[in-house]
Amino acid sequence: MEQLSGLDATFINMETRNAPTHISGICIYDQATAPGGKVTFKGILSNIESRLHLARCFRQKIVRVPFGFDHPYWIEDPDFDLEFHVRHIALPKPGDWRQLCIQTARLHARPLDLGKPLWEMYVIEGLDQVEGLPPGCFAVLTKIHHAAIDGVSGMEMTAATHDFEVEGKPEPPDAPWVAESEPSLLELGIRATVNNVQQPFRFARILSEAAPPAIRGYMDAAAARKEDDEQVAEVPRTRFNGRVSPHRVFEAANFELADVKQIRKRVEGSTVNDVILATVGGALRKYLEKHLELPREPLSAFAPISTRTADQAGSAGNQVSGMFVTLHTDEPDPVRRLEKVYRTTQSSKEMSEAVGARSMTDVTQTMPGALAGIAGRLIARTGLMSRLTPVAHCVVSNVPGPQVPLYFTGARMVASFALGLPMEGIGLFHAVLSYNGAITVSITSCREQMPAPSFYAQCLEESFRELREASVE
């Protein structure tokens, strides 16, 4: 039995019907590479079953402490049923991209069962008319609660279920799996009492360590802004800063990773992530301008940062912090926007390093569980975040992936996308994945805030094209 960290527990406490806190990945496969040219659902079940030992979250479920007096615990589920988690559906004909997006959004919108291990997998067949893909492809949509996984450990889970060759075989487990019985109320009560007595002292120690560098980082960042002669304006509100509905939309834009790397050469020192942020800034500018809603002040994004260390590889849960980045939506020139984004990310990285991302993660871990749980539930259920001044207008999460082909039950992965978690106050999520020479920007949003996601995908494509053309002159 292992207790959830403070950050992991936050994703449980903050969950509401309108804003479930799971993430999803959808991969598309060409089964022509599989033995016999066909993948069966029975074969997929057998493949997943042989790999359950490679990712802890597969068979772990949460046990809540009564009255929320402490963070929940993970236990090995004694009632684990693989066929509850792996499901099989098909698109109606013709089986095109739009149908896949609609079905994906509907599946992603449904909350997970918190009484079971926190994941579901949907095998979706019938993708016969998706442009650029051969007929007979199938997709696998995997939903995982954010309490169990972050972006980096999500890629580790992908590694657990995929191979580098058609007939790859997983390594056998070192020891047989053993289920755990649920702890008694008395045991949970004793643990909660001890933790809530100890945590305030740990909280004070870590806060004292984090505060001095945080102050220095703030002063350095303020000086950098002054040198750049940038004025800090009031944060504007957009359509993405209100309350979210329980309904979701999904879309994606695809780019060549080689083009992204070529663009970044235009601004010395800039990264792939800077190019994507500048592209998102241009897309938001186009989308809001079309709706006559573009503020004069620049919009900003929250960008998660992994704090996972080498010795934490393979562990479940979240090891993340983050930074806020100005997207410079007020800048019409794409290259100048990239230059400004680069300066902003450099300043944000310096601030994050000064504060100490690990220290800020530790602060969430040491906050007393009862206090953290009450605060999280209160914020979520009152919709407080949607009424406050926006902290950001969207999320841009970038997770690098493998640059070689992967195989699932013998079928070659031909495309990979991700879906994030729109929240109260930030209803637009960009998930950036790179795989085998391609990079995708996947869009998840509230249907009421973005009723036409295909138009926003076009805005992303146009923004990228303008940046590419302006960068290779």
pLDDT above 70: residue 152:
no
Name the token pair of 43: 């074969």
Which of the residue ranges 66-80, 354-368, 427-441 would you say has the lowest mean pLDDT? 354-368
pLDDT of residue 311 exceeding 90, the answer is: no
The residue-averaged pLDDT of 112-127 equals 96
| Mean pLDDT to the nearest integer, 187-214 | 57
| For residue 134, pLDDT beyond 50 | yes
Q: What is the largest CA-CA distance in the chain?
A: 70
Give the per-residue pLDDT at 323. Answer: 84
Whether 243 contacts 424, CB under 8 Å:
yes
Q: Using the CB atoms, write b or e for 404-436: b if 16+ within 10 Å.
A: ebbbbbbbbbbbbbbbbbbbbbbbbbbbbbbbb
| Predicted pLDDT at 215 | 44
Closest CA to 61 of 39, 76, 83: 76
Rounded distance, CA 29 to CA 40, Å? 13
**In which band, very low, low, confident or very high, does the pLDDT at 350 lie, cut at 50, 70 and 90?**
low
CATH architecture, domain 2-173+182-190:
2-Layer Sandwich (3.30)
Residue-range domain boundaries for the chain: 2-173+182-190, 213-367+383-400+421-471
Using a 10 angstrom Cβ sphere, with 0-12 exposed, 13-18 middle and 19 or more buried, the burial of residue 116 is middle
- Which residues, 6 or more positions from 427, have their beta carbon under 8 angstroms from its beta carbon? 239, 240, 241, 242, 244, 445, 446, 449, 450
Residues with Cβ within 8 Å of 465's Cβ and at least 6 positions away in sequence, in order, are none
Calculate the average pLDDT of the chain. Answer: 83
Q: Hey, which residues are catalytic here?
A: 146
Residues 152-175 have a mean pLDDT of 82
Q: What is the mean pLDDT of residues 115-143?
A: 94
pLDDT band at residue 206 under the 50/70/90 scheme: very low
Confidence of residue 171 (pLDDT cuts 50, 70, 90): confident
Query: For residue 357, which amino acid is it?
Result: A
Banded pLDDT at 13 (limits 50, 70, 90): confident
Same CATH fold assignment for domains 2-173+182-190 and 213-367+383-400+421-471 = yes
* pLDDT tens-digit readout, 262-276: 999 999 999 999 999
Q: Which helix (H) or strand (E) holds 50?
A: none
CATH superfamily of 213-367+383-400+421-471: Nonribosomal peptide synthetase, condensation domain (3.30.559.30)
Q: Which residue has the tokens 């992994």?
A: 306
